[in-house]
Structure 1
Amino acid sequence: MGMLVKDFPQIKENVALHIKSLSEWVGGITHVSSKEQMEFISKKSDDLMTYAGGMASGAAVTLSSIFVFVGLLPIYIYLMLFYKGILLRFIFMWFQPEDHAKVKETIYETEAIIKNYLGGLLIQVTYMTILLGGLLLLFGIKHALLIGVIFAILNLIPYVGALLGNVIGVVLTLTSSTELGPVITVLLVIAAVQFLDNNILMPRIVGSKIKINALMAILGVVIGGSIAGISGMFLSMPIIAVMKIIFDHTIQFKQWGILLGDQRPARSPMTFPIFRKKKDIPTVPGVEK
């Protein structure tokens, strides 16, 4: 961050060059002169500043809520551990004694999933920062470590976070460079590191048999964000994983566990013999079927 602030004068010059190039490109396509473009921008500047002010105030509220959540998190964890017996008794009292063995198995499985997932996220932030920041440093990208840290943290939010991390990485690179080569390098390095993380490192570290399909993961992130903001986005995946475990261990909600998972059937259920359309039986006039 200190390097970014130090390079601010150069960033302003680079942004001015990019805006000039964009203005010339727009003028070549639409035949609108740069003067007319600047007049249009100046007319909309008041609305833009008002919108930016609202965005800034919203971001400040979000940051403050994150700090409050992080500050209270140790208290939540301590109290949940302190009252663990009461919570477990509350859960067991909802079920008949003959079902307690299955409830106990579900609780142990949930505990293992949460431990593996949250521990894996901490390890993921570390190696993503080192891998991405180190590779970008080797390629001579400015603010490489800052891009690595931002992407590693945003990558904790499934799918949506990776997209935001790519956008922020491109913006930081554009503001510090007048060429497109570094931008392409950043995108390729991020894609390579993300492929390595998704297909090799993270599955081995977490080691979870619970897999959530992409559609339900994105919906969970959106719903979690609307309910609890940024903290809801981060916690959406472990909550969905716990829900899937509970659904898989119950008969009346088993179909919901299948909906959350990513285990697709070998063939479409519509092709089962019971669903096949039977051919009409030819009839003879005057004779009943």
Structure 2
Amino acid sequence: MSVNVLFAAKPDRWAEYERPLRDAIAARGITAHIAMDIPADQVDYIVYAPNSEVKDFAPFTRTKAVLNLWAGVEAIVGNPTLHLPLTRMVDPALTQGMIEWVTGHILRLHLGMDAHISATPGTWEPKAPPLAFDTRVTVLGLGELGTACAAALAGLGFQITGWSRSQKQIDGITCLSGAQGLDKALSRADYCVLLLPSTAATENVLDARALALMPKGARILNPGRGPLIDDAALLAALETNQIDHATLDVFRVEPLPQEHPYWTHAKVTVTPHVASETRAAYSAKTIAENIHRGETGAPFLHLVDRNAGY
């Protein structure tokens, strides 16, 4: 088997991905010409980052699939010229990174670490933190990342409720769906973790009404997508103590503008979109597997549902 693979991403990513891609594709028994400058009518597969310069897919007449480098596809799924199979990135490192960020920040808040780290020397206030057994966490979004984070938190003893658009059944997790299910999931969220895709249906899923449904003093973590939160509503809820703290990794505009009130708010932690990262050594294997599937007639992994938007 021999294929032409166009790497359509920012040039600085090429140095990171060139060797892992060549090695991973070769390991699947495929001879590949991989480059950033292959003529469109000669491309078999596109390894794609939505911030690349490729926006018109019409010239790619023999291309079999667009293999997205990112977990999120909202920046490409609506492209009117794209009629090719589109896959999203799922790999063990991406999942593990998200598990570590979510569990780390929940445990930081749950154990009250900030108070001990910033305490005045000599302060001795032996107040024991709550137990995970008595703490409820709601995970909005039960895709690959949401399910993995929910399972990890359940393993630590937290009471886990998960919500998704369609009903799911996952051992150890109370699964809810639909509008009424969302209200119920929010009402039991001492912590709410947002891992939904960004679609028209999920924009502002945490608006003023939703925030009011949560227990007084709830905490929010958003490593998913910026538009999931109504920023003005969240800031208002923080001021009234309806929400005790928000740890935010993603934003509507990135980098987060310096004048944004999140930067200086005492109840907000900003992290610079680092909750999880696509790592070449792992993601190259996912790409190679999908190229092998395309060449052998097997179904692609992680195929995007255009109607759902993810």
Please say whether Structure 1 and Structure 2 have the same fold, judged by a TM-score greater than 0.5: no
Q: Name whichever structure is richer in helix by fraction.
A: 1
Higher strand share: 2
Point out the structure with max Rg over C-alpha. Answer: 1
